[in-house]
């Protein structure tokens, strides 16, 4: 059944690009607190000045031109919004990059995106230095996490770098010149897992991300009061969910956002919450469970908490119940993907249905399709497919991959199987893809299997996702040893994976088998592995 939400047209209210949103917001809420991180608070006027100075540096002291790509490899610290806003104000395209990437993963994303600039945490530079000579990156800007509290010495490097603070100081010597921009211009290359084992860049235009900001704001409009909200933001800003919710949605409403650089450090996390009167928190299932096990968290004042948003991975009923018992606040679950900027559906606040991903956002059409891309009959499950202003322009440098996921009439096929409930909400019932979701991050079996298969002692390998309370799922690998290496042990395999894969992709369980179950044509039967 086609969602009837499509009748509403999304108006951008004169916005042409993210830079317009940044400037308008900073002017409207100039003297209100914008971001707090590590105990340091900056007001909107300071965010405006610092991001404009960074934009000026990019314009006047580098060879970068509008449309060039800049990779951002930072944790959730205030430098992230300063850099992201500044780069977009200079007309650059953002390439959000996981700070935990291995050299192999960095090299692919840097080169595939054609990035020519990089902003990176100083602590991560030694890893990046291993691959930077093999990229086209010429401008390298570094920052320490605590630079905004007390500038730190940058230390020596094998490549030419400039500190972010020095870049901003140079930028202040020249006026920032606004760049002409159109809503169809590329704003972000958001990399998502690829079934071929290599991540693909979803091309998100300024119109895509601004539309989704306005769509999501429309769904949450009764809960978000302009200039009054205090958001706790523990999710990594390079992830499209946090990028939208934190850097665009809540920022545009004049919210005071508390960034949590390391949510695994629960005592520091809780102390940061204790310091403010928070009204909102964004997170995911595993994070909510972790917080609710902390006695100090349970002792916090939740009287002003109005909305808790969840995305990235499925919310379990037990977590929703526990969170409600501890905080008194319902969790409002949504659904989205990198390819949709990201939000497609959201539960309506005060009408939440646990286990459901909610209703289509304003301006969003949803069809449930069969294997032939025909719409299924009412009441039947089908592949959730989306059309709307938030749907990507396509995959960067990959027309073939784009064609695989787009229908002839412009619907993006998500790979998730869903059904529509009687109240119009949707429920995910299965994943068409074999994707594994670990703490909200996508892990594609093919990528892990390729790394495993590169080990000389492994003849065959297959991986699946298995439920794990702490992270939602974990990676489980099934290994057939090569004849000449029967001494291969679990520790050898884990060490090999850690060299080439980000930690959440590394298998947590290893099972040795004489052979893998396969179809007559040799395709691995993952469903049989799930029974092992």
Tens of pLDDT along 407-443?
999 999 999 989 999 999 999 987 777 778 899 887 8
CB contact at 8 A, 347 and 358: yes
Structural domains in the chain, CATH included, are: 43-181 (3.40.50.980), 361-431 (2.30.38.10), 436-529 (3.30.300.30)
For the whole model, what pTM was predicted? Answer: 0.88
- What integer pLDDT is reported at residue 120 of this predicted model? 98
Helix (H) or strand (E) holding 28: helix 18-28
Mean local confidence (pLDDT), 92-118? 96
In sequence order, the 6+-apart residues with CB closer than 8 A to the CB of 531 are: none
User: What is the rounded distance in angstroms from the CA atom of residue 99 to the CA atom of residue 119?
Assistant: 11
User: What is the rounded distance in angstroms from the CA atom of residue 300 to the CA atom of residue 278?
Assistant: 10
The end-to-end CA distance of the chain, in Å, is 38
Q: What is the DSSP string of 325-339?
A: HHHS--EEEEEE-GG
* Statement: residue 153 has pLDDT above 80: no
Q: In what order do the strands lie in the sheet with 472-481?
A: 458-468, 472-481, 509-512
pLDDT, tens digit (0-9, with 9 covering 90-100), for 226-265? 999 999 999 999 999 999 999 999 999 999 999 999 998 9
User: What is the rounded distance in angstroms from the CA atom of residue 429 to the CA atom of residue 64?
Assistant: 46
The answer to whether the bond into 342 is cis (omega within 30° of 0) is: yes
Mean local confidence (pLDDT), 13-20? 96
Per-residue confidence band for 521, with pLDDT thresholds at 50, 70 and 90 = low
CB contact at 8 A, 61 and 171: yes
* Statement: residue 391 has pLDDT above 70: yes
Q: Which of 152-166, 268-282, 373-387 has the lowest average pLDDT?
A: 152-166
Please give the backbone phi and psi of residue 210, each rounded to the nearest 5 degrees, phi first: -70, -40
Q: Which of 190-194, 251-255, 270-274, 517-521 has the lowest average pLDDT?
A: 517-521
User: What is the rounded distance in angstroms from the CA atom of residue 6 to the CA atom of residue 345?
Assistant: 13
CB contact at 8 A, 209 and 391: no
Per-residue confidence band for 151, with pLDDT thresholds at 50, 70 and 90 = confident
* Paired residues of 343 in beta bridges: 336
User: What is the rounded distance in angstroms from the CA atom of residue 189 to the CA atom of residue 339?
Assistant: 10
User: What is the rounded distance in angstroms from the CA atom of residue 72 to the CA atom of residue 154?
Assistant: 18
Mean local confidence (pLDDT), 88-113? 96
Of 386, 298, 380, 401, give the one whose Cα is nearest residue 342. 386
Mean local confidence (pLDDT), 176-181? 96
pLDDT, tens digit (0-9, with 9 covering 90-100), for 290-328? 899 899 999 999 999 999 999 877 788 888 999 999 999
CB contact at 8 A, 275 and 259: no
**Angle formed by the axes of helices 285-292 and 266-274, nearest 10°:** 80
Per-residue confidence band for 39, with pLDDT thresholds at 50, 70 and 90 = very high
């Amino acid at each position: 059944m086609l969602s009837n939400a499509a009748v509403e047209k999304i108006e951008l209210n004169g916005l042409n690009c993210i830079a317009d949103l940044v400037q308008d917001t900073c002017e409207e809420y100039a003297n209100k607190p914008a971001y707090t991180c590590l105990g340091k608070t900056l007001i909107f006027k300071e965010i405006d000045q610092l991001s404009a100075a960074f934009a000026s540096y990019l314009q006047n002291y580098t060879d970068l031109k509008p449309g060039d790509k800049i990779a951002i490899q930072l944790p959730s610290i205030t430098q992230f919004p300063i850099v992201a806003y500044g780069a977009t104000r200079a007309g650059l395209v953002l390439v959000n990059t996981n700070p935990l990437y291995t050299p192999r993963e960095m090299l692919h994303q840097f080169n595939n995106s054609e990035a020519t600039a990089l902003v990176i945490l100083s602590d991560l530079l030694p890893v990046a230095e291993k691959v930077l000579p093999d990229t086209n990156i010429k401008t390298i800007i570094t920052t320490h996490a605590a630079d905004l509290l007390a500038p730190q010495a940058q230390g020596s490097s094998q490549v030419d770098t400039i500190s972010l603070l020095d870049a901003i100081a140079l930028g202040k010597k020249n006026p920032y010149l606004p760049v002409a921009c159109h809503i169809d211009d590329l704003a972000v290359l958001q990399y998502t897992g690829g079934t071929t084992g290599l991540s693909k860049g979803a091309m998100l235009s300024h119109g895509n991300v601004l539309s989704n900001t306005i769509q999501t704001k429309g769904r949450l409009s009764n809960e978000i009061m302009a200039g009054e909200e205090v958001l706790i933001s523990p999710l990594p800003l390079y992830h499209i969910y946090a990028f939208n919710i934190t850097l665009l949605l809540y920022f545009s409403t004049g919210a005071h956002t508390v960034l949590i650089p390391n949510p695994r450090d629960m005592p520091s996390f809780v102390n940061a919450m204790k310091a403010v009167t928070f009204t909102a928190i964004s997170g995911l299932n595993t994070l909510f469970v972790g917080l609710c096990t902390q006695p100090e968290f349970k002792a916090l004042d939740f009287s002003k908490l109005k909305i808790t948003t969840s995305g990235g991975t499925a919310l379990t009923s037990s977590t929703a119940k526990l969170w409600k018992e501890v905080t008194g606040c319902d969790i409002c679950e949504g659904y989205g993907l990198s390819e949709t900027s990201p939000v497609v559906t959201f539960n309506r606040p005060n009408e939440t249905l646990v286990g459901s991903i909610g209703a289509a956002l304003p301006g969003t059409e949803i069809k449930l399709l069969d294997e032939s891309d025909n719409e299924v009959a009412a009441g039947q499950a089908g592949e959730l497919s989306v059309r709307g202003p938030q749907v990507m322009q396509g995959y960067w440098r990959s027309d073939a991959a784009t064609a695989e996921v787009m229908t002839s009439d412009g619907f993006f096929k998500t790979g998730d199987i869903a059904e529509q409930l009687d109240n119009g909400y949707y429920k995910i019932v299965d994943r068409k893809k074999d994707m594994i979701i670990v703490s909200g991050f996508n892990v594609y079996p093919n990528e892990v299997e390729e790394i495993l298969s590169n080990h000389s002692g492994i003849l065959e390998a297959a991986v699946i996702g298995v439920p794990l309370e702490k992270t939602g799922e974990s990676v489980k690998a099934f290994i057939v040893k090569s004849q000449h290496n029967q001494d291969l042990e679990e520790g050898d395999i884990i060490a090999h994976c850690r060299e080439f894969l980000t930690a959440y992709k590394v298998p947590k369980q290893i099972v040795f088998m004489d052979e893998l179950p396969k179809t007559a044509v040799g395709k691995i039967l993952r469903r049989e592995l799930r029974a092992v």
